[in-house]
Amino acid sequence: MAGEGRQRIDKWLFFARVVKSRSLAAKFVQAGRVRINRDKTDHPSQTVKPGDVLTITLERRVIVYRVVDCGARRGPAEEARTLYEDLTPPPAPSGQALPDALAPVRKAGSGRPTKRERRDLDAWRGGDDGGNGE
Protein backbone atom coordinates (compact mmCIF):
# COMPACT_ATOMS: atom_id res chain seq x y z
CA MET A 1 0.00 0.00 0.00
CA ALA A 2 2.98 2.32 0.44
CA GLY A 3 3.32 2.84 -3.30
CA GLU A 4 -0.33 3.57 -4.12
CA GLY A 5 -0.19 7.18 -2.96
CA ARG A 6 -3.45 7.34 -0.95
CA GLN A 7 -4.53 5.79 2.32
CA ARG A 8 -7.51 5.97 4.67
CA ILE A 9 -6.97 8.48 7.47
CA ASP A 10 -7.80 5.94 10.19
CA LYS A 11 -5.19 3.48 8.87
CA TRP A 12 -2.60 6.22 8.51
CA LEU A 13 -3.12 7.43 12.11
CA PHE A 14 -2.76 3.84 13.31
CA PHE A 15 0.37 3.16 11.22
CA ALA A 16 1.95 6.49 12.29
CA ARG A 17 1.37 5.53 15.95
CA VAL A 18 -0.78 8.55 16.76
CA VAL A 19 -3.36 6.22 18.37
CA LYS A 20 -3.13 2.70 19.80
CA SER A 21 -5.69 0.93 17.59
CA ARG A 22 -7.45 1.41 14.30
CA SER A 23 -10.87 1.44 15.94
CA LEU A 24 -9.68 4.24 18.23
CA ALA A 25 -8.40 6.08 15.16
CA ALA A 26 -11.84 5.80 13.55
CA LYS A 27 -13.52 7.14 16.71
CA PHE A 28 -10.92 9.90 16.89
CA VAL A 29 -11.75 11.04 13.34
CA GLN A 30 -15.51 10.74 13.87
CA ALA A 31 -15.21 12.98 16.95
CA GLY A 32 -13.89 15.74 14.67
CA ARG A 33 -10.40 15.86 16.16
CA VAL A 34 -8.59 15.67 12.83
CA ARG A 35 -8.29 18.28 10.08
CA ILE A 36 -6.87 17.55 6.65
CA ASN A 37 -5.44 20.66 4.99
CA ARG A 38 -7.45 22.83 7.43
CA ASP A 39 -10.74 21.10 6.53
CA LYS A 40 -12.44 19.29 9.39
CA THR A 41 -13.31 15.69 8.59
CA ASP A 42 -15.49 13.20 10.42
CA HIS A 43 -15.21 10.29 7.99
CA PRO A 44 -12.58 7.63 8.80
CA SER A 45 -12.65 6.63 5.13
CA GLN A 46 -11.30 10.03 4.03
CA THR A 47 -8.02 9.49 2.19
CA VAL A 48 -4.71 11.25 2.72
CA LYS A 49 -1.80 11.50 0.34
CA PRO A 50 1.81 12.68 0.66
CA GLY A 51 1.90 16.44 1.07
CA ASP A 52 -1.34 16.70 3.09
CA VAL A 53 -1.11 18.56 6.38
CA LEU A 54 -2.94 17.01 9.34
CA THR A 55 -3.90 18.99 12.43
CA ILE A 56 -4.65 16.56 15.24
CA THR A 57 -6.17 17.60 18.57
CA LEU A 58 -5.02 15.39 21.42
CA GLU A 59 -5.97 15.59 25.10
CA ARG A 60 -3.59 18.35 26.13
CA ARG A 61 -1.96 19.48 22.91
CA VAL A 62 -2.34 19.99 19.19
CA ILE A 63 0.07 18.37 16.75
CA VAL A 64 0.62 19.22 13.10
CA TYR A 65 2.01 16.58 10.74
CA ARG A 66 2.79 16.68 7.02
CA VAL A 67 2.19 13.29 5.42
CA VAL A 68 5.41 12.08 3.78
CA ASP A 69 4.40 8.53 2.88
CA CYS A 70 1.61 6.02 3.28
CA GLY A 71 2.31 3.12 5.58
CA ALA A 72 2.24 -0.58 4.78
CA ARG A 73 2.07 -1.80 8.39
CA ARG A 74 2.23 -0.67 12.00
CA GLY A 75 5.90 -1.11 12.61
CA PRO A 76 8.33 0.17 15.22
CA ALA A 77 8.41 3.84 16.19
CA GLU A 78 11.41 4.53 13.95
CA GLU A 79 9.46 3.27 10.95
CA ALA A 80 6.38 5.27 11.97
CA ARG A 81 8.42 8.50 12.10
CA THR A 82 9.26 8.11 8.42
CA LEU A 83 5.57 8.53 7.53
CA TYR A 84 5.34 12.17 8.63
CA GLU A 85 7.20 15.42 9.13
CA ASP A 86 6.44 17.10 12.45
CA LEU A 87 5.37 20.74 11.95
CA THR A 88 4.09 21.23 15.50
CA PRO A 89 5.06 24.65 16.88
CA PRO A 90 7.15 24.57 20.06
CA PRO A 91 5.14 24.70 23.29
CA ALA A 92 4.86 27.92 25.27
CA PRO A 93 7.46 28.12 28.01
CA SER A 94 6.03 26.71 31.21
CA GLY A 95 6.53 28.49 34.47
CA GLN A 96 5.78 31.88 32.96
CA ALA A 97 2.35 33.28 33.67
CA LEU A 98 0.39 34.45 30.69
CA PRO A 99 0.03 38.24 30.60
CA ASP A 100 -3.73 38.03 30.32
CA ALA A 101 -4.13 35.47 33.11
CA LEU A 102 -7.05 36.09 35.41
CA ALA A 103 -6.74 36.43 39.15
CA PRO A 104 -7.62 33.34 41.19
CA VAL A 105 -11.26 33.26 42.21
CA ARG A 106 -12.64 31.84 45.43
CA LYS A 107 -16.05 30.24 45.56
CA ALA A 108 -18.72 32.38 47.15
CA GLY A 109 -19.42 31.29 50.68
CA SER A 110 -16.18 29.37 51.08
CA GLY A 111 -15.13 31.53 54.02
CA ARG A 112 -12.08 33.61 54.62
CA PRO A 113 -8.77 32.59 53.08
CA THR A 114 -6.40 30.64 55.27
CA LYS A 115 -3.05 32.11 56.24
CA ARG A 116 -1.33 30.04 53.55
CA GLU A 117 -3.84 31.10 50.87
CA ARG A 118 -3.40 34.75 51.90
CA ARG A 119 0.38 34.48 51.58
CA ASP A 120 0.00 32.83 48.18
CA LEU A 121 -2.32 35.63 47.03
CA ASP A 122 0.10 38.29 48.27
CA ALA A 123 3.00 36.56 46.52
CA TRP A 124 0.97 36.26 43.33
CA ARG A 125 0.09 39.97 43.43
CA GLY A 126 3.76 40.74 43.90
CA GLY A 127 3.17 42.99 46.87
CA ASP A 128 4.38 42.69 50.42
CA ASP A 129 1.91 44.12 52.85
CA GLY A 130 4.56 44.42 55.55
CA GLY A 131 2.69 42.13 57.91
CA ASN A 132 0.06 44.68 58.92
CA GLY A 133 -2.81 42.70 57.34
CA GLU A 134 -3.95 45.42 54.94
Element (H, E) at 21: none
Element (H, E) at 24: helix 22-30
Provide the pLDDT confidence category of residue 41 given band limits of 50, 70 and 90: very high
Residue 98 has a pLDDT of: 56
Average pLDDT of the chain is 85
The predicted-structure confidence for 58-115, as pLDDT tens digits, reads as follows: 888 899 999 999 999 999 999 999 999 999 988 777 665 555 656 667 677 778 888 9
Please name the amino acid found at residue 28. F
Proportion of the chain above pLDDT 70, given as a percent: 81
Residue 118 has a pLDDT of: 87
Q: What is the DSSP string of 40-59?
A: EE--TT-EE-TT-EEEEE-S
Looking at the chain, the number of H-run helices and the number of E-run strands are 4, 7
Sketch out the chain's domains with CATH numbers. Answer: 7-86 (3.10.290.10)
CA distance 7 to 12: 6
Residue 40 has a pLDDT of: 92
| pLDDT score of 124 more than 80 | yes
Residue 13 has a pLDDT of: 95
